[in-house]
Each structure stands twice: as C-alpha cells, then as structure tokens.
Structure 1
Amino acid sequence: MVRAAAKTTSRIATHMAIAFALTWLMTGSIALGGLAALIEPVLNVALLPLHETAWHALAGLARTARGRMLALGLEKLSQTGLHIAVAFGVMAWASGSLAFGGLAALIEPVLNVIALPFHDRLWDRFGKGGRKEIEQHNQNENERNGAYPGQTLVA
C-alpha cells in the first residue's frame, strides 16, 4: 500500500518535472514553467474522473466482449486526446503562442511515454530488492522463534 502510494507520487513528480522542463525550455521562464507544472497535472487529475465516468457508462451499453474491448480502446484513445488538449491549452496559455501549444501537445505526451516506463522499471527493480529483504527477515524471525524446517511462524 505504502509502496504503491510512493510509486504514484513519484510518477506524478516525474510528470511534473517533464511539464516544468518543457515549459521552461519553450518560454524561458521558470515562473511559467512552475505554474504549468502545477496546472497541467491538476487539470488532468480533475478531468480524468469525469472522462472515466462517461466512458464507463458507454461501456456498460456494450453487449458483447468485442464491444467492451472496442469501448476500452476508444476510451484510451479519448484519454490520450484529453491529455493532448490539456497540454496544448496550458502551453498556449503560458506562452501566448498557439504554435508552442501545438508543439507541447506533441512533445509532452511523447516524453511521458518514454520516461514513465523507465520510471516503472526502476520501481520494479527497487521492489524486488525490498521483497527479498522482507523474505530474509521473515526467515530469520522464524528460525529465531524456533520454527521447524518448513514451518512458518512469521508470514
């Protein structure tokens, strides 16, 4: 539970760092970069539940497994479009340029698609080490508490 929350927080921080760096590089303003790094994820987080609610209602209308899979695919495409629209709007507002907004709408999702899988792999690697340590600790506790071989006292 704590690990999942930490991973989610780290993903948000990575997303915000990408938004900040992109806005700062395009506008030259640290203040606008920071503002965009806050606004863009907040808008995505605020709009995503509304988006999911609408799509879940539509998916409920699907009668077949194929229809449900089609609805899921369309939901993901729509979610990508929503993300692109938010990136465009925030950058167009921050820079005052529709061209910069369009450029950000193309670059920011691509940077996230590149960076976040690396982020997840690092977290998975980190988690495997943690599990080994926990298993070793539990085994040591079982031995210390007098468990017979194959018997578990500490889960």
Structure 2
Amino acid sequence: MMIAAKRTSQVVAHMAIAFAIAYAMTGSVVFGGLAVVIEPMINVLLLPFHEKAWAAVRACAVDERDRYMRIAAEKLSQTVLHMGVAFVVMYAATGSLAFGGMAAVLEPVCNVLLLPVHDRFWHKLELRLNSRMRLA
C-alpha cells in the first residue's frame, strides 16, 4: 500500500512539474494540461524500448567498473531522452525553439531539485509509520 501511494505521489509530482513549466512559459492552462498528459505518455511509451536496449548494453559489461560505467551512461541517456521529449512537446505546442529549449532544460533541473525533497518526505514518513507499528 505504501509503495503504491509513493509511486502515485511521484507521478503526481512529475505531472505538477510539467504543468508548472508549461503554464509558466505559455500562460495557458490548456498547454499546461497537455504537457501533463502528453509528455508522460510519450515517456512511458519510449522508456521500455530504452530500458531493453540498455539491458543488452549492460549485459556486455566485462567487469564491475565497466558495469557501473554503463549504468551511468544509461542514466545520462535517459536524461537526454526526457529532455528531448520535453523539447518536442513544448516546441509542438508553441512552435518556439526557445520555449522548447527552456522546457528541455527546466524540466530535468526541476526534477533533480524537487524529487529528492519528495523522496526524503516519503522516507521520513515510512520511518515514522514503521516505528509506530513496532510500538503497537
């Protein structure tokens, strides 16, 4: 139950970030709403292909160091994928290369800054609930 709530909360946080960026850049609730729906859908559709390709790359690692380097490259690639999707969605919505570029930079930056706060909140909540369960 806790895992489902945490995952749902993560999705809502991602959607809120996408909405806030699109709304701030366009001033349109409609574009903000489209960003909330379209961008995650595209990411959800593309990520399994990305993960499958990188699983094959990781499987070819010759040692532990090589495996870690491949994991780092995978995470970098995943970030570039998200940036590309953010760019394309904002560019398609506005026709502006500048807005597309800003979305491509702002979304990952906001995710990197805000999602650790989200994760810390959930970690503290889990600790608090676990300690209460032990006392009961």
TM-score, with normalisation over the residues of structure 1? 0.84
Work out the CA distance in 1 between the residues paired with 2:44 and 2:115: 17
State how many pairs are aligned.
136
Q: Which runs of 5 or more residues in structure 2 are unaligned?
A: none
> What is the CA–CA distance in structure 2 between the aligned matches of 1:41 and 1:15, rounded to whole Å?
8
What is aligned with 2:113?
114
How do 1:97-136 and structure 2 match up within 5 A? 97-136=96-135
Alpha-carbon RMSD across the aligned residues, in angstroms, is 1.0
CA distance in 2, matches of 1:126, 1:66: 35
CA distance in 2: counterparts of 1:95 and 1:15, whole angstroms? 21
Runs of 4+ in structure 1 off by over 3 angstroms are none
So what's the TM-score if we normalise by structure 2?
Answer: 0.95
Where does 1:44-123 land on structure 2 (aligned, <5 Å)? 44-123=43-122
Cα distance in 2 for residues equivalent to 1:9 and 1:70: 31
Q: 1:100 is aligned with what amino acid?
A: F
Structure having greater relative contact order (Cα 8 Å, sep ≥ 6): 2
Equivalent pairs: percent with the same residue?
A: 51
- 1:8 is matched with which residue? 7
- 1:98 is displaced (CA, Å) by 1.1
Q: Give the letter for the 2:82 counterpart.
A: H
User: Rg bigger for which structure?
Assistant: 1
